[in-house]
C-alpha cells in the first residue's frame, strides 16, 4: 500500500473510532447532546478524509467533479455538529452567528449542486498529476473557478467567528477547567477551519500543488477531544476511589449506628412504600420477634400488633401520608414468649415531587419499662386522689351535716304539721297538698346533696367527657356554701357564660376546685371578718383554653414558697397532709392543663388553672 | 297583769325550713312571725314583743350567737331557742351561757321543739310578771317621804320603835305615826309582809349603817 493511503487512512480510522465511541456513549444516554454532535463531526471528518483519498485517486474529470460536489454534504454535517456542540455543550456563542454559519453552509451545498460542476469549479478541464516522495502520484483538479466559490470560505469565517466569540465568553466566566477547554477547543476548531479552508482555496486556485487536507486538519480536534476524554476518565477514577473510601466510612458508621441502636434498644427502620418492604436494624427483628430471614411488609407489621392498637397505628400512618409526613404512635406487641411489650415509634415520610409518599424513615424504642412505671404511678395517684378526697370530705363533714340537716328539718316539720292538721275536725286538703309538695321538693334536695357526696367518694376511672366548667364551679360552691357562711366568707363569682365545654372528668375537676376553694377559705381564717372575700372567675384564656381562677384576701403566699406549694407533703396547715395542691396539680396535668399560683398586688393569693377546650366546641 | 297572746318569732335564712317551722307551730295554734334574716328581725323587733325566739345558728353575715349578743345589748329579754345543723359543743355552751333556753339539733323533733317553746313562753311570762311587780313596788316606794324611808329601813332591820326614836332623836309617838303611814302607803298589814315586799323589790332602804358610811 502506498504511504499516502496509509497517511490518510489513519485520521479516517481515528475519526471513525471516535465517532463510534461517542455514538455508543450517546446511545447509553450519558451527556447525550455533546456525544452525538462529536460523533457526527467525527463521522463527517471520516467521510471527508475518504473523499480526499478518492479525489487523489480520481482518473477522470467527471469523477473529480462528483467527489468535490458531494464533499459539501459532510461539510454541512461537520458545521452543524460543531455549532451544536459549542452551543449546547459549552452553552456559549451568539445564536445569529450560528445561524449565519449554518445558513451559508446550506447555501454552499445547494450552489454546489445547482451552479457549475460544483461549488469550486465551473468546469474541471483536466487533472494534474503530481509525483510525491517515494514515487507516489496523485490527481489534483484544474479548471475554471465557480464565482459562487466565495460562499464556502464565508461560512468558514462565520463559524470561526462564532467559535471564537463563544470561547471569549467562556474565558470570562467559568472555572479553570472551563477556560482550558475553551482555549483548547476554540483553538483547535479555528486551526482546523483556517487550515482546511485556506489550504483548499489555494489548491483550487492552482496556487499550490497538494491534495486536500481537510481530514488531516481535523486531527487537532480529535487530539483535544481525546485529551479531554482521558481527563474525564482520570476524574472518574478518582471519584471511584473516593466513593470506595466513603463506602468504607459508611460501613464503619453503620456499624457504629448498629452498636448505638442495639445499646439503646433502638430500632432504625425504613419502609419502602412503593415496594412495601420494611428494612430495619438487626435489633428490629429481635424487637418484633420476627425471624431475621423473614421479610417485613406493612401488613405483616400490622399483624403482630396488639388487636386494640392496630387500627390506631394504621390511622397514624394514613394521617402522616395525607399530612406533612410526620408519624408518631405508641403500640403494644405480643412477643413470642407471651409477654406484651410497649413501643414508641416515630418517623417521617419522604414524598416525591408529585407529592406521592415514597418511603418512611424512623425509629422505634421499647418503652415497656416506662409505661409500667407510669401505670404504677397512675394507680398510686388515683389512690392518693381518693384519699385526699375523703380527707377533704372529712374536713367538710360538719358543713355537709348542716347542709343535709336543712331539708331533713323542713321535711320533719312539714310532716308533723300535716299530722297535726289531719288530727283537726275540719281538714284543709289543699293545705295538706301544699305540705306534701314541699316535702317532696325537700326530699329531692336531700337526695341531691347525697348524690354529690357519693360522687366525691366514689373511686372511679378518669372519665373523658365534655364538662361545663361553670357548672363545676357552681356545684362546688353549693357544696361549700354552708361552710362559707359559717366562716363569714362572701363569694364573688364571675363566670363567662359563653365558655365552651372542656374535656375531662367532672368529679376530679370538682375535687381540684374544691381543694383550691377550701385552701382559699383556710387562708382567710385570720382576715378581718368583714373582709373575707372569695373570688371565683372563669374565662377564655389564649387559644383553646378555659381558665379558672380562685382568689382570696388572706395573707398571700410567701414568695419563697411559691414554687414548692405544689410538691407533695408540703404543708403550712397543722392538720393538713400537704397533699391537696399536689393532687390538684396532678388532676389538672392529667387533663392537659396547667395550675399555678401568684400573689395579688393588694393582698391574698390567686390560684389559676387552665383546661383545654373540647375540640368539638372550640371551632 | 293580763296574760296576752305570745308570739313565736322564727329566724332562719333557709326559706324552706322557715316555712316548715312556721307551718308546724301554726298547726298547734301558736302565733308565729317569720323572718328570713337576722337583719330583717332586728329591724322589726320591739321591746314590747313577748313570746320567744327560735333562731338558726348558722346564718350569713350575723350568726345566731351574734344576734343573741345584739339583743342583750338592746335589753330585749326574749328567751331564745337555738337550732343548729351540727350541734358542736363549744357553740352550745356559749349560747347557754348567754342565756339561751335550749339548744336543739336539726332535724328537730316536734315534741322537743314545742316543749322548749312552751318553756320559753312560760319563762318570758315569768320574767315579764316579775318585772311588772318590781315596777309596782318601786312605784309605791316612791310615794314615801324621806323620814318614812328612814323608818322603813330601821323597821326592816328589826329594831323596836323605842330604839328607832332614840337613833333618830325624835319621840317614839312620831315613829309610830310614820310607821302607820308607810304601811298604809305600801299596803301591807304586818312587818313580815313588809320585809317580804322589800326583799322582792331587791332594794335596800337606807339603813342606819349605810347612812353612816
Question: Is there a contact between A420 and B28 if contact means CB atoms under 8 Å apart?
Answer: yes
Are residues A401 and A343 both part of a single domain?
no
Claim to verify: residue B64 and residue B152 sit in the same structural domain: no
B126 and B79 in a single domain? The answer is yes
Residue of A403, A405, A408, A488 to mutate, interface with B, max B Cβ within 10 Å: A405
The pLDDT of residue A30 is 62
**Per-residue pLDDT, A103:** 92
Assess whether A197 and A275 both reside in one domain: no
Three cell numbers written together for A4: 499516502
- Mean pLDDT within A238-258: 86
The pLDDT of residue A183 is above 90: no
The distance of B34 to chain A (nearest Cα, Å) reads 14
A463 and A544 share a domain?
Answer: yes
Contact B37, B59 (CB under 8 A): yes
Same domain, A78 and A213: yes
Those residues whose C-beta lies under 8 Å from the C-beta of residue A94, and which sit 6 or more positions away, are A162, A165, A166
Taking the Cβ of residue B59 and every Cβ of chain A, the question of whether any pair is shorter than 8 Å is answered with yes
> Is A247 among the domain residues?
no
pTM: 0.42
**Per-residue pLDDT reduced to its tens digit, A359-409:** 898 888 888 888 888 888 777 766 776 677 666 666 666 666 777 888 999
Among residues of chain A, what percentage have pLDDT more than 90? 11
Q: Are residue A360 and residue A469 in the same domain, yes or no?
A: no
A268 vs A495, higher pLDDT:
A495
Q: Flag whether residue B184 sits within 8 Å of chain A, measured between CB atoms.
A: no
Last residue of a domain, one of A308, A338, A366: A366
Q: Domain with B176 in it: what CATH number? A: 1.10.10.10
Q: Are residues A339 and A389 in the same domain?
A: no
Same domain, B27 and B113: yes
Query: In the listed set A304, A331, A366, which residue is the last one of a domain according to the structure?
Result: A366
Which chain A residue lies closest to B57 (C-alpha atoms)? Answer: A486
pLDDT in tens, A48-93: 888 888 888 888 888 888 888 888 899 899 889 888 888 877 777 7
Element (H, E) at A94: none
* Overall size of chain A counted in residues: 619
Cα dist from A262 to A156, A301, B124, whole Å = 71, 20, 94
Give the pLDDT band (50/70/90) at residue A619: very low
pLDDT band for position B200 (cuts 50, 70, 90):
confident
- Taking an 8 Å cut-off on Cβ atoms, the answer to whether A406 and B63 are in contact is no
Give mean pLDDT, residues A516-545: 87
Picking from B100, B115, B136, the residue at the C-terminal end of a domain is: B136
- Looking at residue A54, its pLDDT comes to 86
pLDDT per position as a tens digit, A441-490: 999 988 887 877 776 666 555 677 889 999 999 988 887 887 788 788 89
Sign of CA dihedral A522, A523, A525, A531: negative
CA dihedral A436, A437, A443, A444 (to 10 degrees): 160
In a shared domain, residues A126 and A12: yes
List, for residues A83-128, the tens digit of each pLDDT value. 888 887 777 778 888 899 899 989 988 888 888 778 888 888 888 8
pLDDT at residue B182 above 80? yes
Nearest to A585 by CA among A600, A559, A606, A567: A567
Q: What is the pLDDT of residue B208?
A: 43
- Judgement on whether residues B111 and B157 belong to the same structural domain of the protein: no
Same domain, A306 and A394: no
Q: Which residues in chain B are contacts of A411 at CB distance < 8 A?
A: 20, 107
Same domain, B45 and B114: yes
Q: Which residue of A has its CA nearest to B26?
A: A417
Distance from the first to the final alpha carbon of chain B: 39
The cell for B207 is 339603813
Nearest CB to B86 within list A398, A419, A442:
A398
Taking 60 as the threshold, does the pLDDT of residue B211 lie above it?
A: no
DSSP class of B57: S
Q: Domain range for residue B147? A: 143-212
Is A18 in contact with A2 (CB distance < 8 Å)?
no
Q: Where are the alpha helices (DSSP H) in A458-551?
A: 469-486, 506-523
In terms of domains, do B44 and B87 share one? yes
Q: B8 to chain A: which residues are within 8 Å by CB?
A: none
Please indicate, yes or no, if residue B2 is contained in any of the structural domains: no
Model confidence at B202, pLDDT cuts 50, 70, 90, reads low
In a domain, A215, yes or no: yes
Alpha helices in A95-150 (DSSP H): 95-114
Average pLDDT value for residue range B119-132: 87
Whole-number average pLDDT of chain A:
82
B84 in the same domain as B153: no
Does B151 map to a domain? yes
> Of B17, B63, B88, which has the smallest distance from its Cβ to A410's Cβ?
B17
Give every CB contact of residue A210 below 8 A, 6+ residues apart in sequence. A130, A140, A199, A203
d(CA A75, CA B26): 135
Spell out the residues 6+ positions from residue A607 whose beta carbon is closer than 8 angstroms to its own. Answer: A516, A519, A520, A549, A550, A551, A595, A596, A597
Task: For residue A405, give the nearest of B23, B60, B107 by CB distance.
Answer: B107
**B110 vs A411: CB contact, 8 Å cut-off?**
no
Report yes or no: A94 and A165 within 8 Å, Cβ to Cβ. Answer: yes
Report how far apart, in Å, the C-alpha atoms of A239 and of each of A177, A235, A243, A423, A611 are: 17, 6, 6, 116, 60
pLDDT at B196 over 70: yes
Residue B1 lies in a domain: no
In a domain, residue A236? The reply is no
Which pLDDT band holds residue B8 (cuts at 50, 70, 90)?
Answer: very high
Round to whole Å and give the CA distance between A524 and A604: 8
List b or e across A581-611, with b for residues whose CB sees 16 or more CB atoms inside 10 angstroms.
bbbbbbbbebbebebebeeeeeebbbbbbbb
Interchain proximity A420–B24, CB inside 8 Å: yes
Q: Are B80 and B101 in contact (CB under 8 A)?
A: yes
Res. A255: pLDDT tops 90 = no
Identify whether residues B114 and B178 lie together within a single domain.
no
**From A296-305, A344-353, A606-615, the region with the lowest mean pLDDT:** A296-305
Listed in sequence order, the DSSP H helices in A359-428 are 368-422
My answer on whether B113 and B150 are in the same domain is: no
pLDDT digits (tens, 9 = 90+) for B100-114: 888 888 888 888 899
Residue of A459, A464, A462 lying closest to A383 (CA atoms)? A459
- Kindly tell me the number of DSSP H helices and DSSP E strands found in chain B: 10, 5
Are A285 and A192 within one domain? no
Which of these three, A346, A366, A386, is where a domain ends?
A: A366
Tell me what pLDDT residue B213 has.
Answer: 35
pLDDT score for A534: 92
Better pLDDT: A491 or A584: A491
Q: For residues A284-292, give the mean pLDDT.
A: 61
Please tell me which residue of chain B has the smallest CA distance to A532: B61
The CATH number of the domain where A428 resides is what?
3.30.565.10
How does DSSP classify residue A196?
H
A288 confidence band (pLDDT: 50, 70, 90): low
B85/A411 touch (CB, cutoff 8 Å), yes or no: no
Cell of B5: 297572746
Residue in A closest to B17 by C-alpha:
A410
Same domain, B173 and B102: no
Residue A318's domain is classified under what CATH number? 3.30.450.20
Residue with cell 488531516: A216
Contact flag B108-A409 (C-beta cutoff 8 Å): yes
What CATH number corresponds to the domain at position B72?
3.40.50.2300
Give the distance from residue B111's alpha carbon to the nearest chain A alpha carbon, in angstroms.
10
User: Which residues does chain B have within 8 Å of residue A419's beta carbon, measured at their own beta carbons?
Assistant: 27
Closest CA to B3 of B176, B97, B128: B128
Candidates A401, A404, A413, partner chain B, best to mutate (most B CBs within 10 A): A413
* Chain B partners within 8 Å of A403 (Cβ): 85
Residue A238 lies in a domain: no
* Pairwise CB contact (< 8 Å): B27 & A421: yes
Q: How long, in residues, is chain B?
A: 213
> Which of the pair, A536 or A376, is modelled with greater confidence?
A536
Whether the predicted pLDDT of A548 surpasses 60? yes
Which of chain A's residues have a Cβ under 8 Å away from the Cβ of B16?
406-407, 410, 438, 441-442, 445
Q: How far is Cα B149 from Cα B141, in angstroms, rounded to an integer?
A: 8
One domain, residues A362 and A392: no
Nearest partner of A99 among A88, A84, A111, A85, judged by Cα: A84
B61 near A CB under 8 A:
yes
Q: Please give the Cα distance from A68 to A115 (Å, whole number).
A: 13
Closest alpha carbon to A514 in A400, A401, A600, A389: A389
In a domain, A495, yes or no: yes
Q: DSSP assignment of A539-581, as one string? A: EE-SSSEEEEEEE--S----GGGTTGGGSTT---SSS--S-HH
Tell if the CB–CB gap between A398 and B107 is shorter than 8 Å: no
Substitution target from B10, B107, B115 for chain A, most A beta carbons within 10 A: B107
pLDDT of residue A571: 61
Q: What is the pLDDT of residues B24-73, one digit of tens each?
A: 999 988 999 999 988 889 888 887 788 899 988 877 667 788 888 888 88
How many contacts, defined by CB atoms under 8 Å, are there between A and B? 88
Give the model confidence (pLDDT) of A415-439 as tens digits: 999 999 999 888 889 999 999 999 9
Q: Is residue A246 part of a domain?
A: no
Tell me which residues of chain A have a C-beta less than 8 Å from any C-beta of chain B: 398-399, 401-414, 416-421, 435, 438, 441-442, 445, 482, 485-486, 488, 490
Count: domains in chain A: 3
Determine contact: B115 vs chain A, CB below 8 A: no
Phi, psi for A455 (deg, rounded to 5): -60, -40
Residue in A with minimal Cα distance to B14 = A406
Q: Which residues contact B207 (CB under 8 A, 6 or more apart)?
A: B153, B154, B156, B157
In a domain, A289, yes or no: yes
pLDDT, tens only, A186-225: 888 888 888 888 888 888 777 777 777 777 787 887 777 7
Please indicate, yes or no, whether residues B81 and B121 belong to a single structural domain of this protein. yes
pLDDT digits 0-9 by tens, A578-614 = 557 777 887 888 888 889 988 888 788 999 999 988 7
Structural domain range at position A331: 265-366
| pLDDT tens-place string over residues A231-245 | 777 887 888 889 898
Does residue A243 lie within any of the structural domains? no
Q: Are A214 and A280 members of one domain?
A: no
With CA atoms as reference, the chain A residue closest to B22 would be: A413
Other CB atoms within 10 Å distance of the CB of residue B99: 13
B32 and B74 housed in the same domain: yes
CA distances from residue B167 to A218, A578, B163, B171, B175 in whole angstroms, order as listed? 175, 81, 6, 10, 11
CA nearest B28 in A: which residue?
A420
Structure confidence at residue A457 (pLDDT): 64
Tell me whether residues A486 and B17 touch, CB distance under 8 A: no
Assess whether A443 and A487 both reside in one domain.
Answer: yes
Considering its fold, how many domains does chain B have in total? 2
Q: Which of A416, A439, A449 to mutate to test the interface with B (most CBs of B within 10 A)?
A: A416
Amino acid at each position: 500500500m502506498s504511504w499516502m493511503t496509509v497517511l490518510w487512512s489513519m485520521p479516517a480510522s481515528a475519526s471513525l473510532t471516535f465517532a463510534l465511541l461517542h455514538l455508543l456513549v450517546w446511545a447509553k444516554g450519558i451527556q447525550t447532546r455533546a456525544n452525538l454532535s462529536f460523533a457526527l463531526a467525527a463521522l463527517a471528518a471520516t467521510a471527508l478524509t475518504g473523499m480526499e483519498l478518492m479525489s487523489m485517486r480520481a482518473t477522470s474529470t467527471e469523477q473529480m467533479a462528483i467527489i468535490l460536489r458531494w464533499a459539501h454534504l459532510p461539510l454541512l454535517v461537520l458545521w452543524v455538529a460543531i455549532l451544536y456542540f459549542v452551543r449546547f455543550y459549552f452553552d456559549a456563542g451568539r445564536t445569529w452567528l450560528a445561524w449565519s454559519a449554518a445558513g451559508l453552509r446550506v447555501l454552499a451545498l445547494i450552489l454546489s449542486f445547482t451552479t457549475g460542476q460544483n461549488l469550486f469549479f465551473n468546469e474541471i478541464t483536466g487533472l494534474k498529476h503530481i509525483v510525491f516522495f517515494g514515487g507516489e502520484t496523485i490527481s489534483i483538479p484544474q479548471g475554471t473557478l465557480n464565482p459562487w466559490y466565495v460562499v464556502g470560505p464565508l461560512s468558514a469565517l462565520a463559524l470561526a467567528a462564532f467559535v471564537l466569540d463563544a470561547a471569549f465568553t467562556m474565558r470570562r466566566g467559568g472555572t479553570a477547567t472551563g477556560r482550558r477547554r475553551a482555549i483548547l477547543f476554540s483553538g483547535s476548531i479555528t486551526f482546523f477551519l483556517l487550515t482546511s479552508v485556506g489550504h483548499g482555496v489555494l489548491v483550487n486556485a492552482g496556487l499550490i500543488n497538494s491534495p486536500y487536507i481537510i481530514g488531516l486538519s481535523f486531527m487537532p480536534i480529535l487530539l483535544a477531544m481525546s485529551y479531554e476524554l482521558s481527563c474525564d476518565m482520570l476524574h472518574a477514577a478518582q471519584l471511584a476511589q473516593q466513593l470506595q473510601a466513603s463506602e468504607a466510612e459508611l460501613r464503619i458508621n453503620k456499624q457504629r449506628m448498629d452498636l448505638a441502636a442495639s445499646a439503646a434498644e433502638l430500632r432504625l427502620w425504613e419502609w419502602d412504600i412503593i415496594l412495601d418492604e420494611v428494612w430495619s436494624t438487626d435489633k428490629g427483628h429481635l424487637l418484633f420477634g420476627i425471624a431475621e430471614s423473614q421479610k417485613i411488609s406493612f401488613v405483616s407489621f400490622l399483624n403482630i400488633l396488639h388487636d386494640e392498637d392496630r387500627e390506631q397505628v394504621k390511622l397514624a400512618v394514613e394521617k402522616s401520608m395525607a399530612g406533612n409526613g410526620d408519624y408518631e404512635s405508641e403500640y403494644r406487641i405480643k412477643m413470642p414468649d407471651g409477654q406484651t411489650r410497649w413501643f414508641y415509634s416515630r418517623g417521617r415520610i419522604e414524598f416525591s415531587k408529585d407529592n406521592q409518599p415514597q418511603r418512611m424513615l424512623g425509629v422505634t424504642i421499647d418503652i415497656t419499662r416506662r409505661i409500667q412505671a407510669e401505670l404504677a404511678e397512675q394507680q398510686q395517684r388515683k389512690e392518693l386522689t381518693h384519699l385526699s378526697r375523703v380527707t377533704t370530705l372529712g374536713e367538710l363533714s360538719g358543713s355537709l351535716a348542716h347542709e343535709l340537716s336543712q331539708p331533713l328539718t323542713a321535711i320533719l316539720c312539714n310532716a308533723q304539721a300535716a299530722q297535726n292538721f289531719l288530727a283537726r275536725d275540719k281538714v284543709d286538703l289543699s293545705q295538706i297538698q301544699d305540705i306534701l309538695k314541699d316535702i317532696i321538693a325537700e326530699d329531692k334536695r336531700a337526695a341531691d346533696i347525697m348524690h354529690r357526696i357519693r360522687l366525691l367518694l366514689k373511686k372511679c376511672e378518669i372519665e373523658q367527657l365534655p364538662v361545663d366548667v361553670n357548672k363545676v364551679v357552681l356545684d362546688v360552691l353549693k357544696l361549700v356554701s354552708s361552710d362559707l357562711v359559717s366562716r363569714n366568707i362572701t363569694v364573688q363569682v364571675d363566670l363567662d357564660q359563653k365558655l365552651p365545654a372542656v374535656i375531662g372528668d367532672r368529679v376530679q375537676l370538682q375535687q381540684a376546685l374544691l381543694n383550691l376553694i377550701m385552701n382559699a377559705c383556710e387562708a382567710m381564717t385570720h382576715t378581718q371578718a368583714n373582709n373575707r372575700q372569695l373570688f371565683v372567675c372563669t374565662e377564655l384564656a389564649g387559644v383553646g383554653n378555659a381558665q379558672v381562677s380562685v382568689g382570696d384576701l388572706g395573707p398571700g403566699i410567701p414568695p419563697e414558697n411559691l414554687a414548692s406549694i405544689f410538691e407533695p407533703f408540703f404543708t403550712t396547715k397543722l392538720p393538713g397532709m400537704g397533699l391537696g395542691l399536689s393532687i390538684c396539680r396532678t388532676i389538672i396535668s392529667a387533663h392537659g392543663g396547667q395550675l399555678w399560683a401568684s400573689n395579688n398586688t393588694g393582698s391574698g393569693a390567686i390560684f389559676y388553672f387552665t383546661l383545654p377546650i373540647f375540640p368539638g366546641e372550640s371551632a | 297583769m293580763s296574760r296576752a297572746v305570745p308570739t313565736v318569732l322564727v329566724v332562719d335564712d333557709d326559706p324552706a325550713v322557715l316555712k316548715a317551722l312556721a307551718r308546724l307551730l301554726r298547726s298547734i295554734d301558736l302565733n308565729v312571725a317569720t323572718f328570713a334574716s337576722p337583719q330583717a328581725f332586728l329591724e322589726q323587733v320591739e321591746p314590747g314583743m313577748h313570746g320567744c325566739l327560735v333562731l338558726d345558728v348558722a346564718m350569713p353575715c350575723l350568726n345566731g350567737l351574734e344576734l343573741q349578743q345584739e339583743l342583750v345589748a338592746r335589753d330585749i329579754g326574749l328567751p331564745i331557742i337555738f337550732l343548729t345543723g351540727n350541734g358542736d359543743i363549744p357553740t352550745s355552751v356559749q349560747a347557754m351561757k348567754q342565756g339561751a333556753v335550749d339548744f336543739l339539733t336539726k332535724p328537730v323533733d316536734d315534741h322537743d321543739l314545742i316543749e322548749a317553746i312552751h318553756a320559753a313562753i312560760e319563762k318570758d311570762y315569768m320574767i315579764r310578771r316579775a318585772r311588772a311587780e318590781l315596777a309596782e313596788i318601786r312605784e309605791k316606794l316612791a310615794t314615801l317621804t324621806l323620814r318614812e324611808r328612814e323608818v322603813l329601813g330601821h323597821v326592816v332591820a328589826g329594831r323596836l320603835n323605842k330604839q328607832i326614836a332614840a337613833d333618830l332623836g325624835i319621840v317614839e309617838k312620831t315613829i309610830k305615826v310614820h310607821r302607820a303611814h308607810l304601811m298604809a302607803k305600801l299596803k301591807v298589814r304586818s312587818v313580815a309582809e313588809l320585809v317580804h315586799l322589800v326583799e322582792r323589790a331587791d332594794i335596800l332602804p337606807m339603813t342606819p349603817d349605810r347612812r353612816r358610811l
